[in-house]
Amino acid sequence: MKLSKRQDTYRHQGLRNQLIKVIRMKGISDAPVLAAMEKVPRHFFFDSSFLEYAYEDQPFPIGAGQTISQPYTVAFQSSLLRINKGDKVLEIGTGSGYQACILAELGAKVFSIERQKSLYDKTRILLSEMGYQRIKLFYGDGYKGLPSYAPFDKVLVTAAAPYIPEPLIRQLKPGGILVVPVGDETQVMTTIHKISETETRREEHGNFRFVPMLEDKAKDH
Ligand code: SAH
């Protein structure tokens, strides 16, 4: 990666402060989440020709037909997760790795699954260059979760799920929280609180738009 891309200048930090103000004005008040987003250089996740888009509150293409989520959405999902330091968190849809870094900055032990091999490979290199070796990345199908690393304190789905995958609820600890956008054209941001092995509570938090959660690993590699 070019050094020019890796620099986090005062200008970038200034743009990031502005972005945090915008997100706060849109209703996010979770101080640790805002602090994490103020810290992680979002432009590192962009190809160098698109750096000027990195600090707009917009989703953006990252290759393989996928997008880095809108900052507001990252903040919203991160707040719903109520991360405590040391939480084991499973993310479905690594994509650029930006959301995984925000969770790591919140003190989570992050496990993240991606079904597109090209994104998995690219993000693995980026996160290791950025010093996030503690984030564990997996190439696989998020519908299945990660049974061998379960149970998790929190599970976050960052793609549009047509339904809530049962294994993800099963792999939550009692007291754990699943955050998942559910739906086809638009999605309802949904939280499942696992009260006990047999009892869950479902809440809905408004409409969002995500790229679809697809079955199985991508076949084009
Ligand atoms: N969290 C990402 C957002 C990526 S968009 C970020 O911060 O950049 C959603 C991602 O979910 C895409 O990269 C897509 O390839 C991936 N995805 C879709 N279905 C999946 C599945 N079944 N398992 C794992 N990843 C999946």
Measured between alpha carbons, how far is 190 from 200 in angstroms, rounded to an integer?
12
- Judge whether 93 lies within some domain: yes
Would you say residue 189 lies in a domain? yes
Mean pLDDT, the chain, rounded, equals 94
Answer yes or no: is 35 within a domain.
yes
Q: pLDDT tens digit string along 29-70?
A: 999 999 999 999 999 998 877 777 999 999 999 888 889 999
- Cα of 15 from ligand 1 centre, angstroms: 26
| Structural domain span for residue 66 | 10-208
Inter-residue contact 74 to 51 (CB < 8 Å) = no
Q: What residue's CA is closest to ligand 1, atom 13? A: 95
Ligand 1 center to residue 133 CA distance, Å? 20
Question: What token pair was written down for 88?
Answer: 């084991």
* pTM value surpassing 0.85: yes
Beta pairing, strands 88-92 & 109-114: parallel
Report how far ligand 1's centroid is from the alpha carbon of 100 (Å). 11
Residue 194 domain-assigned (yes or no): yes
Ligand 1 centroid–CA 80 distance in Å is 19
**For 174-204, how does the pLDDT look when each residue is reduced to its tens digit (9 = 90+)?**
999 999 999 999 999 999 999 999 999 999 9
Total residues belonging to the chain = 221
For residue 109, the domain's CATH number is: 3.40.50.150
Ligand 1, CB cutoff 6 Å, lining residues: 66-69, 92-93, 95-96, 98-99, 113-116, 119, 141-143, 158-159, 211, 213-214
The active-site residue out of 48, 69, 79, 96 is: 69
Cα 24 to Cα 101: distance, rounded to the nearest angstrom: 20
Residue 2 lies in a domain: no
Q: For residues 162 and 182, what is the distance between their CA atoms, to the nearest angstrom? A: 6
Cis peptide before 151 (omega within 30 of 0): yes
Rounded (5°) CA angle 217-219-221: 105
Instruction: Name the token pair of 51.
Output: 């750096």
Task: Give the tokens for residue 212.
Answer: 């679809």
Residue 167 is assigned to a structural domain of this protein: yes
For residue 3, being part of any structural domain is answered with no
Q: Quick one: pLDDT at residue 220? A: 61
Condensed to tens digits (0 to 9), the pLDDT of residues 123-165 reads: 999 999 999 999 999 999 999 999 999 999 999 999 999 999 9
| Per-residue pLDDT at 47 | 83
Asked, for residue 28, whether it belongs to a domain, the answer is: yes
Q: Which of 45, 47, 60, 94 to mutate to test the pocket of ligand 1 (most atoms within 8 A of CB)?
A: 94
Known catalytic residue: 69?
yes
Quick check: 2 pLDDT over 90? no
Pocket test for ligand 1, best of 66, 77, 119, 216 (most atoms within 8 A of CB): 66
Is residue 5 predicted with pLDDT exceeding 60?
Answer: no
* Number of folded domains that form the chain: 1
